Amino acid sequence: MTTIEINFDGLIGPIHNYAGLSPGNIASASNAGAVSCPRAAALQGLAKMKRLMDLGLTQGFIPPPRRPAIAVLRSLGYQGDDKTVLASAATEDPLLFNNSCSASAMWAANAATVIAAADSFDGRVHLVTANLATMLHRSFEAPDTYNMLRNIFPDKRRFAVHQALPSTRHFSDEGAANHMRLATQHGDRGLNVFVHGASRGSRFPERQARRAGEAVARIAGFEGFHTLQSQAAIEAGAFHNDVVAVANEQVLLAHAAAFEHRDALFDAVARAVPDFVPVEVDSISLDDAIGSYLFNSQLVTLPDGGMALILPGETRENALVWGAVEAIIAGNNPIREAIIVDVRESMRNGGGPACLRLRVPVSTTAIAGIDPRYLLDERRWEALCDLVQQYWPEQIDATALADPALWEAARCAHDALDALLGRFELG
């Protein structure tokens, strides 16, 4: 029985905007108030999905939750019809209103932590929804994410979808962005590495709590390895581990300053995965790594067994970074190909190729337990592209989120997406 890894990318929503809501995310903060391009953003994300499909990989997608988050505003006491609720919130609490308009669920790496069937106590794939408790706008996502994951993975014989941990800093959980799995192959038992922060007086929030990783490991019934993200990386703007490290099967690609206790981590992986291949980069600074999002690339296993890096275009714009990429490809490791994708709209808000996807290892039999509407083929991909072209706004000024015409455009886009999913169900 073969196990493959499916990337489920977040479809970028129609209200994608640059409101600068995420302290510690340098790209988000530096572009606050800029004009965004939701249509271009979604098409860039879809083009990336198609590139992976063309490589022979199975590709899924996760629809965006409805935004503005009217249900959240109602739960906070705003009353009346939808327009009244939104207008009241925009007038009385503009910061809360802006948070309700965030399209940050597009970064599906934060949707959940995924535990492979080979590692769990019951032989099922476990998905533990992330609470994203550190950031207000992201904390609104968990209920929608949980419900959507249940829709995508409905077969309880093969998948266990868990609600988020309690939404407190004590259990602050940012999902797969701080989780790495290393194994000889996707179907083998592996080592689950949980990377966390700590209270060290950093100028930026250290978002992932160790207790969250420990709880996820207990839920899925195994012992994980817990390691501390380096304070230097967080100070440089690595708000998640996947900004400075990425793992795939037996390979760990990381900046040399990614981990506080690097030697202990590498020793643990080497004991668990005999053919462990560490690929460390020390030829570029943390600033260059984070500015280019080199390590927020997707590292994928190709059908022929080699590996490819799916890189943001920004890596080509820095000569030192591109030199590091060329050294990786030429090195004694399984990474043999570098593929550039354009996700500039996402990058401007602080998310590269790896941020946009949730990795789910599944056996060839378990694939039958996934709702096929969320697995892309040529026809579904083209239909999503057509939908985005027709309904997604061309531009959004982040200073004009309180425009009722924008709310109506977003509602129409989501209604059209729901209708399209209904047609997917019919075959």
CB atoms within 10 A of CB 330: 10
Structure tokens at 326: 């060329």
- The phi and psi torsions of 250 (rounded to 5 degrees) equal -90, 0
Q: Is 394 a catalytic residue?
A: no
Cα dihedral 279→280→283→284 (10° resolution): 110
Q: Please report where in the chains the tokens 């499909």 appear, as a residue.
A: 53
Q: How far is CA 379 from CA 58, 207, 368, 376, in A?
A: 14, 39, 19, 8
- The active-site residue out of 137, 196, 255, 355 is 355
Asked if 189 and 183 count as a contact pair (C-beta separation under 8 A), the reply is: yes
In angstroms, rounded to a whole number, what is the distance separating the alpha carbons of residues 67 and 77?
Answer: 18
Asked if 31 and 37 count as a contact pair (C-beta separation under 8 A), the reply is: no
Asked if 244 and 279 count as a contact pair (C-beta separation under 8 A), the reply is: no
Asked if 174 and 240 count as a contact pair (C-beta separation under 8 A), the reply is: yes
- The active-site residue out of 240, 260, 314, 345 is 240
In angstroms, rounded to a whole number, what is the distance separating the alpha carbons of residues 147 and 415?
Answer: 17
- The active-site residue out of 174, 206, 249, 345 is 174
In angstroms, rounded to a whole number, what is the distance separating the alpha carbons of residues 242 and 124?
Answer: 25
Provide the 3-class DSSP secondary structure of residue 200.
Answer: coil
Residue 187 CA, chain-centre distance (Å), reads: 22
Structure tokens at 28: 């988000």
Q: Is 425 a catalytic residue?
A: no
DSSP string, 66-130: PSS-HHHHHHTT--SSHHHHHHHHHHH-HHHHHHHT--GGG-GGGTEEEE-TTTSTTSSEEEEE-
Q: Is 382 a catalytic residue?
A: no
Q: How far is CA 300 from CA 7, 217, 246, 266, in A?
A: 9, 24, 10, 21
Instruction: Kindly list the catalytic residues.
Output: 174, 240, 355
